[in-house]
């Protein structure tokens, strides 16, 4: 049994979530989700709205690929939808078609909010079921970050003192609920903001809740290297820009064909993709691409 195979990854993720510095080999967790819809030959939106199909599909896909993780949800506008935005679901991932028509920033409790999005409700339930499954993959969740959610909800205002406080509070509440549902890690996928101070404040709020629940909060900033609070784990595209003296993750392109060209001299604690792998990526293509990465990653 290799070191990687014998690791108790639940414990390692919890250690990482509380800020422990115990080293471990990189965990390969590509952001695969609706690619699993191919197993039952159903549409991505139908798959993503049904927790039973999610659990069955991502578990089977992880088994076929030899992965230890499975994403129960990915960035698709579902957080903004729960908070009042309207999504266009004609393609995957859905796009925010209209902002919230309500004044949502005064919401105090989010327990009744998440079910407003069938996508988010399905991902939460799938997380619970995956967490209860014996010998199944570790449930991960990827979410739109605060700058993205603010743009989807408040396209004219974006991140401001008012909206960043609300978005940070909402995402922190969701991370808490995900931790209680049994997720092992949360990945934020975000975009650069014209108000980095407000974004940092929102991320700090989310990270504090993740740290309290001992869940690692990985942060991906598309097109830039995030400068994040110490309660988050920044994910970077290359070892040359890795943050000094702190845990970090490594980001791969979302196109599996590009993985063969990536060198892994100093991979981070997590190796994931910048965004969800395209839903039309065939399993026949994914198997050799994933195997190539697993063979080249350090095992101790």
Interval 245-297: pLDDT, tens = 688 999 999 999 999 988 888 888 999 999 999 988 999 999 999 999 999 99
Residue corresponding to tokens 């996928």: 189
> Domain map of the chain by residue range?
3-19+27-228+280-292
Q: What is the mean pLDDT of residues 232-251?
A: 81
Work out the percent of the chain whose per-residue pLDDT is above 70.
Answer: 93
> Is CATH 3.20.20.210 the classification given to domain 3-19+27-228+280-292?
yes
**Residue in 191, 268, 207 with CA at minimum distance from that of residue 237:** 268
pTM for this one?
Answer: 0.94
Give yes or no for residue 37 having a pLDDT over 70.
Answer: yes
Give me the chain's average pLDDT, please.
91
Which tokens sit at 72?
């129960």
- CA separation for the pair 272, 26 (Å, rounded): 10
Residue bearing the bigger pLDDT, 251 or 134 = 251
pLDDT at 189: 96
**103 pLDDT tier (thresholds 50, 70, 90):** low
Q: How far is CA 277 from the centre of its chain?
A: 12
Asked if residue 80 lies in contact with residue 119, where contact means CB atoms within 8 angstroms, the answer is no
pLDDT at 239: 63
Give the lowest-confidence range in 91-100, 151-160, 236-245: 236-245
Angle CA(226)–CA(83)–CA(184) in degrees, nearest 5? 50
Give yes or no for residue 1 having a pLDDT over 60.
Answer: no
- Predicted confidence (pLDDT) per residue in 142-172, tens digit: 999 999 999 999 999 989 999 999 999 999 9
- CA separation for the pair 17, 210 (Å, rounded): 7
3-state secondary structure the chain: CCHHHHCCHHHHHHHHHCCCCCCCCCEECCCCCHHHHHHCCCCHHHHHCCHHHHHHHHHHHHHHHCCCEEECCCCCCHHHHHCCCEEECCCCCCEEEECCCCCCCCCCCCCCCHHHCHHHHHHHHHHHHHHHCCCCCEEEEEEECHHHHHHHHCCCCCCCHHHHHHHHHHHHHHHHHHHHHCCCEEEEEECCCCCHHHHHHHHHHHHHHHHHCCCCEEEEECCCCCCCCCCCEEEECCHHHCCCCCCCEEEECCCHHHHHHCCCCCCCCEEEECCCCCCCCCHHHHHHHHHHHHHHCCCC
Give yes or no for residue 62 having a pLDDT over 90.
Answer: yes
**22 pLDDT tier (thresholds 50, 70, 90):** confident
For the chain, give the longest Cα–Cα distance. 55
């Amino acid at each position: 049994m290799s070191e990687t195979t014998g690791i108790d990854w639940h414990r390692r993720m919890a250690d990482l979530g509380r800020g422990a510095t115990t080293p471990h080999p990189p965990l390969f967790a590509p952001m695969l989700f609706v690619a699993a819809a191919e197993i039952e030959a159903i549409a991505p939106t139908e798959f993503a709205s049904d927790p039973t199909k999610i659990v069955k599909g991502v578990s089977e896909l992880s088994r076929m690929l030899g992965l230890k993780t499975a994403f129960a949800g990915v960035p698709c506008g579902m957080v903004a939808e729960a908070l009042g935005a309207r999504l266009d679901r004609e393609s995957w991932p859905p796009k925010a078609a209209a902002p919230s028509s309500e004044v949502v920033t005064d919401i105090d409790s989010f327990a009744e909010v998440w079910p407003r999005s069938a996508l988010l409700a399905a991902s939460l339930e799938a997380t619970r079921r995956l967490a209860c499954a014996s010998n199944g993959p570790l449930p991960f969740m990827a979410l739109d970050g605060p700058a993205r959610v603010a743009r989807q909800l408040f396209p004219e205002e974006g991140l401001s003192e008012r909206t960043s406080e609300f978005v940070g509070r909402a995402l922190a509440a969701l991370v808490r609920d995900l931790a209680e549902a049994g997720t092992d890690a949360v990945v934020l996928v975000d975009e650069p903001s014209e108000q980095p101070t407000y974004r940092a404040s929102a991320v700090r709020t989310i990270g504090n809740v993740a740290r309290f629940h001992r869940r690692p909060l990985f942060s991906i900033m598309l097109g830039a290297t995030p400068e994040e609070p110490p309660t988050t784990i920044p994910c970077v595209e290359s070892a040359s820009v890795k943050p000094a003296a702190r845990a970090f993750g490594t980001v791969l392109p979302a196109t599996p064909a590009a993985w063969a060209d990536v060198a892994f001299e100093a991979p981070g604690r997590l190796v994931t993709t910048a965004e969800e792998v395209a839903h039309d990526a065939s399993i026949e293509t994914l198997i050799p691409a994933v195997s190539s990465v697993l063979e080249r990653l350090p095992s101790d």
